[in-house]
Amino acid sequence: MIEKKPSTTVETIVFIVLIVLTLVTYKVGETDMSGIFVSLGVFAIALFKGALISEHFMQLKYASGIWRWLILIWLILLGIVIYIAFTV
Amino acid sequence: MSKKQLMTTKITKYPPGEIIIWLFIMAELMVFGLFFAAYAVTRIDNIELFELYQQNLDTTAALYNTIALLSSSYFVVRSVIAIKHNQQQDSFKWMVLAIIMGLVFIIIKTDEFAHHVSNGITLSTNTFYMFYLSLAFFHYLHVILGLIILSVIARNINKGAYSAKEYTNVETGASYWHMVDLVWLILFPLVYVM
Amino acid sequence: MKYTSQMVAKPYFIAAIGLFVGQILFGIIMGLQYVIGDFLFPEIPFNVARMVHTNLLIVWLLFGFMGASYYLVPEEAETELHSPILAKLMFWIFLIAGAATILGYLLVPYATLAEITMNDLLPTMGREFLEQPTITKIGIVIVALAFLFNIGMTILKGRKTVINLVLLIGLVGLAVFFLFAFYNPDNIVLDKMFWWFVVHLWVEGVWELILGSLLAFVLIKTTGVDREVIEKWLYVIIAMALITGLIGTGHHFFWIGTPGYWQWWGSIFSAMEPIPFFMMTVFAFNMVNKRRREHPNQPAVLWALGTGVMAFLGAGVWGFLHTLSPVNYYTHGTQITAAHGHMAFYGAYVMIVLAIISYAMPMLNGRKAANSAKSQIVEMWSFWLMTISMVFITLFLTGAGILQVYLQRMSDNPLPFMVVQDKIELFYWLREGAGVVFLIGLIVYIASFFIGKDEAEPNEA
């Protein structure tokens, strides 16, 4: 039985957002912009991209309890460690 | 959440795929997490060294690679959605595209490594290269493992082994592949840009 | 028991237990020599006792693995063993070679042993754990090849299961990595590095595959849980064991002269080595909780669960304690290492061999599935006696180790080695006491084979 084409709008939008954010990060790297806030901004974008992957690609938004937070907690912890290491 | 969404999406207790792959994913993320943390902590005392050699890395190649992995992940998502709707041919097509994008990553990254090797750069060159090569190569091995998993799944989809009723293995492989993508998304800015 | 050729496992198991007794006796002798230095000197010097203690351990575990393979592989492959004769022949060759080697250690000085076995033609002797004369090493390779041939042919002609394949990969790896025992480079750094290829890649690499497959086999048999479920666990445990174990070798490369990046590689990857052991524990308890039957052989289930927990504690937790290079800088080569070594070997490898012996022996003795209730109770007593005394051995050695590290390496006025040894004497006495309890546990274990022999087995619930 072949069902009718499923909707993939959300996933496609997420994908486009991920590509755009990647290009932004790259452009920042290309320019002479530097400094701690630029670095942290770039990393914040990366963490946000990771959250998009977790929620929409890994489909953890449908998982309940601790499972949903597995990757998000990892990202948050990583963010804290990187923040501390780059600002001390 | 609106009523309509509640009807169309189902909240399940467990994440997609076999539970065991999630234990594996967590273990892998712990290894990478430790490596990232070690990188950042070591950088504190070697900021100038890290920033100097960071400039030698090929950011453009890394950009292409990021796009390759993101597309690959997206194609895997499409493949999973297709198999959930019994569209085996579509699912196979998307999976093959995902594998091709993974191979693009491998080709570009291999070229980068070859470049380093021809410049005589090794793990012992300096602390920055030690971290960069270790992280990049360890991730590279994961891409290869992921591609092997995706290839097996693609072959099985083609043989008609999966359907709207039985697609756990597709989700299992997909979850692993997204993890590989996720790690690269962190690695790229941390090692190449920041 | 489904295939008559599985019977060849029996002499292997008996020899394993016999050598196990020898190992523990020498352990007790050596434990006493820690506190009474000239005990049994000059008949059995400390270094000889130590060599016998560790070599016997390896040899009896190998007997156990081989026996386990001969028992398990035909049943998994659903066919008779390729050649039971070859298996019996190899048993005697291995036993005689092993016994001759041990007698050689005990009867002649080590240098003389090297001379009469013509070590100078191909020098391989003199390295810790690889003390065996070169001819013994060659004998081990021959036995291993014949064994692999026998097992491999059986697997080839029969049903291919994941358990059999993982076991075979583990056994082939065991044989391949042993070949580094013949490589003895002049460069002392390379020498040490390749020495670890045998020592580490055995116990923290390929042996874990053997452990995983034996554990999976016992769990399938005693719980009745679906094979597919167990196989999926096995895949992931094995993948994790290999990733962490192979690169984790680096934690031995910290101080031997290898490049600096090993500090990082060794620390990070070996820090993850507890994960596969943790998964094994979760795996074992999960499967037992999901069991579809109450297997009448309760001690076998107990050993299987025990091996998960104790391997995680001994190999995982106690390994992690001193695996990070900044910690290992202070602890390497102290009693902390000895504590870890004792519990890791017991938890991971002794207990899995005892689990499979416990599972298989009743059948090999012509019973349906289990020993009598009386015998089982005695065996479970031995489980607790040995396991708890091993926990205490580990704790006492850890105490000794912490004190040793502090007095000898960290305090403001570091003391010489022998002065420190005197100061931690109390811990050694306590450890010796726990060792005696372990021996009693082992005697009780052996007694369980003879108790209630004529009584019926408990019914399956």
Q: Of the candidates C261, C269, C279, which has its C-beta nearest B124's C-beta? A: C261
Which are the contacts of C289, defined by CB distance < 8 A and separation ≥ 6?
A: none
Residue C250 lies in a domain: no
Q: Write down the residue that tokens 């090999």 correspond to.
A: C364
In a domain, C328, yes or no: no
What integer is the mean pLDDT of C180-195? 95
Residue C7: which pLDDT band, with cuts at 50, 70 and 90? very high
Q: How many domains does chain B have?
A: 1
Q: Is residue B37 part of a domain?
A: no
Q: In the block, which residue shows the tokens 């992957």?
A: A53
Measured between alpha carbons, how far is C95 from C308 in angstroms, rounded to an integer? 30
- Tell me which range, A36-45, B27-36, C280-289, C398-407, is most confidently predicted by mean pLDDT: C398-407
Q: Count chain A–chain B contacts defined by CB atoms under 8 A.
A: 141
Mean pLDDT, residues A11-36: 88
Residues contacting residue C121 through CB under 8 Å, at least 6 positions apart: C134
Residues of B whose CB is below 8 A from A23 = 63
> pLDDT-based confidence at B18, cuts 50/70/90?
confident
Domain boundaries defined on chain A: 36-88
pLDDT at B8 over 80: no
**The domain that contains B87 carries what CATH number?**
1.20.120.80
Whether C and A touch, i.e. at least 3 CB pairs below 8 A, reads as no
pLDDT for B27 beyond 70: yes
Please state, in angstroms and rounded to a whole number, the distance separating the CA atoms of residues C451 and C457.
12
Instruction: Examine residue B149 and state whether it is found in any structural domain, yes or no.
Output: yes
**Cα separations (Å) of C369 from B139, C2, C79, C268, C352?**
48, 12, 20, 45, 18
In 10 A of CB C288, how many CB atoms?
18
Query: Is C241 part of any domain?
Result: no
Q: How many Å apart are CA B121 and CA B113, to the nearest integer? A: 9
Residue B48 pairs in a beta bridge with none
Structure confidence at residue B4 (pLDDT): 41
pTM: 0.88
Domain count, chain C: 1
Contacts of residue C264, Cβ cutoff 8 Å, sequence gap at least 6: B38, B130, B131, B134
Contacting residues for C190 by C-beta, under 8 A, at least 6 apart: none
Q: Is residue B147 part of a domain?
A: yes
ipTM value, please give it.
0.92
Is residue B15 assigned to a domain? no
In this prediction, residue A36 has a pLDDT band, given cuts at 50, 70 and 90, of confident
User: Residue C45 belongs to what domain range?
Assistant: 1-160
CA distance C12 to C66: 7
Residues in chain C within 8 Å Cβ distance of B123:
259, 261
Q: Residue C327: name the closest of C271, C378, C287 by CA.
A: C271
Average pLDDT, chain B: 91
Closest CA to C369 of C302, C304, C295: C295
* Substitution target from A25, A52, A70 for chain B, most B beta carbons within 10 A: A25
| Helices and strands, number each (H, E), in chain B | 7, 0
Nearest-Å Rg of the Cα atoms of chain B is 19
Q: Give the structural domain span for B77.
A: 57-193
Torsion of CA B9, B11, B15, B17, to 10 degrees: -50
CA distance A13 to chain B (A): 10
